[in-house]
């Protein structure tokens, strides 16, 4: 008698059965998008430069001794050829004194751009407060650890002193208290946890497109990605799966086939909303992972992004995993930019120039 052939697991159950090895293979097998990959090839240098920029602007005289960029710091920033080589590669951003000991400063162009970003952040203080309010409203308990928010303050367009300028300045919205579970840490909590009329970004899109289904997502698959007939059928069925929105009380349970599918789609909705709230519609996976238990997400968020390539794009450039909201981008730029994004893009463009336009008479050698 022939052995009974086991039926393969449904796709949504495979999400719950992945091992770490399989997850790594899943990352390697993803369909690349050349536009995002080209963008990240340059953006990874920008991410290395930001900590150095922060060190310079936080110093009293806005200077930084080159010696401060020690071996350990250089290794952490992956400056493989040393800090001096890296700084000299971007003379439109960094200026280095001609005599030893080398002193690093920002160029006038870079200072102007950073001032513009600071001014934009000040003008959008109300929007930043609203973004923090929305993030807390997404949490099941309306509470989040302060240290997790510190990891994404730049992504959310919050001022670097947001603990004082946003949280303490809005006592009717937020409260800050000691974390009873971890010493020397704090919890940010919504004061008023009543129902708020927040509209998720995806719901605004559905209304603008007059979609028949209340549960569809905007799908934009990578160019050249082969969509089989079976895959299209599964996507069509998934689009119709109901789920609880990010600002609604979670009443769905993960038991049973339908329950697991609804919980998985709820996780997609929360991640979509979180990334929609970021200034650049992108965030490191490691940073966003610190929020998942507070949002009631039990799935591996990296796998979640990979399983929905029409909604998210995951890049592994620059020693990090970065997730983009696909619908927000076109040709490597935001479709609907904001003033903070515009300022940051100008700083990024200065780095893209590298040594172009630098004459032989320069103090950067």
How far apart, in whole angstroms, are the C-alpha atoms of residue 33 and residue 330?
12
Examine the pLDDT at 110 and tell me if it is beyond 50: yes
- 103 sits in which H/E element: strand 103-106
Q: What are phi and psi of 278, to 5 degrees?
A: -80, 155
28-81 confidence digits (pLDDT tens): 778 899 999 999 999 999 999 999 999 999 999 999 999 888 777 788 888 888
Could you tell me what percent of the chain has a pLDDT over 70?
Answer: 90
CA distance 102 to 219: 51
User: Could you give the count of Cα atoms lying within 13 Å of 58 in the half-sphere of its Cβ?
Assistant: 8
Do residues 334 and 300 make contact, with C-beta atoms less than 8 angstroms apart? no
What is the tens place of the pLDDT at every residue in 261-298? 999 999 999 999 999 999 999 999 999 999 999 999 99
In this structure, are residues 299 and 264 in contact, taking their beta carbons and an 8 Å threshold?
yes
Residues β-bridged to residue 30: none
Q: How far apart are CA 158 and CA 121, in angstroms?
A: 7
Residue-wise pLDDT for 204-239, tens only, equals 999 898 776 789 999 999 999 999 999 999 999 999
Nearest to 223 by CA among 37, 43, 11: 37
Q: With contact defined as beta carbons under 8 Å apart, do 107 and 88 qualify?
A: no
Is residue 223 a contact partner of residue 32, using CB atoms and an 8 Å limit? Answer: no
Q: In this predicted model, which residue has the larger pLDDT, 32 or 10? A: 32
> How far does Cα 32 stand from its chain's mean position?
19
């Amino acid at each position: 008698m022939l052995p009974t052939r086991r039926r393969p697991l449904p796709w949504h159950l495979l999400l719950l059965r992945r091992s770490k090895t399989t997850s790594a293979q899943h990352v390697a097998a993803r369909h690349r998008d050349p536009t995002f990959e080209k963008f990240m090839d340059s953006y990874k240098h920008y991410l290395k430069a930001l900590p150095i920029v922060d060190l310079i602007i936080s110093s009293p005289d806005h200077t930084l001794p080159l010696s401060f960029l020690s071996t350990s710091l250089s290794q952490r920033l992956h400056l493989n050829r040393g800090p001096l080589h890296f700084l000299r590669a971007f003379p439109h951003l960094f200026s280095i004194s001609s005599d030893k000991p080398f002193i690093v400063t920002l160029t006038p162009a870079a200072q102007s751009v950073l001032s513009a970003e600071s001014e934009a952040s000040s003008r959008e203080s109300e929007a930043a407060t609203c973004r923090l309010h929305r993030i807390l409203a997404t949490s099941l308990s309306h509470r989040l650890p302060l240290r997790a928010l510190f990891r994404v303050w730049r992504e959310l367009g919050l001022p670097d002193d947001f603990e004082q300028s946003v949280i303490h300045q809005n006592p009717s919205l937020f409260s800050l208290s000691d974390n009873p579970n971890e010493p020397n840490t704090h919890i940010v909590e919504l004061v008023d946890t009543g129902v708020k009329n927040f509209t998720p970004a995806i719901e605004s899109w559905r209304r603008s497109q007059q979609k028949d289904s209340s549960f569809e997502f905007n799908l934009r698959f990578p160019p050249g990605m082969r969509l089989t007939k079976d895959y299209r059928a599964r996507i069509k069925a998934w689009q119709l799966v109901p789920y609880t929105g990010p600002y609604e009380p979670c009443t769905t349970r993960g038991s049973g086939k339908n329950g697991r599918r609804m919980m998985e789609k709820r996780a997609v909705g929360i991640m979509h909303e979180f990334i929609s709230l970021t200034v650049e519609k992108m965030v490191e996976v490691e940073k966003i992972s610190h929020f998942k238990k507070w949002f009631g997400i039990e799935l591996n968020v990296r796998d979640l992004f990979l399983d929905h390539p029409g909604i998210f794009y995951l890049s592994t450039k620059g020693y990090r995993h970065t997730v983009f909201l696909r619908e927000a981008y076109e040709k490597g730029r935001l479709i609907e930019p904001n003033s903070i994004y515009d300022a940051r893009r100008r700083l990024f463009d200065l780095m893209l120039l590298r040594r172009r336009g630098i004459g032989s008479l320069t103090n950067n050698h």
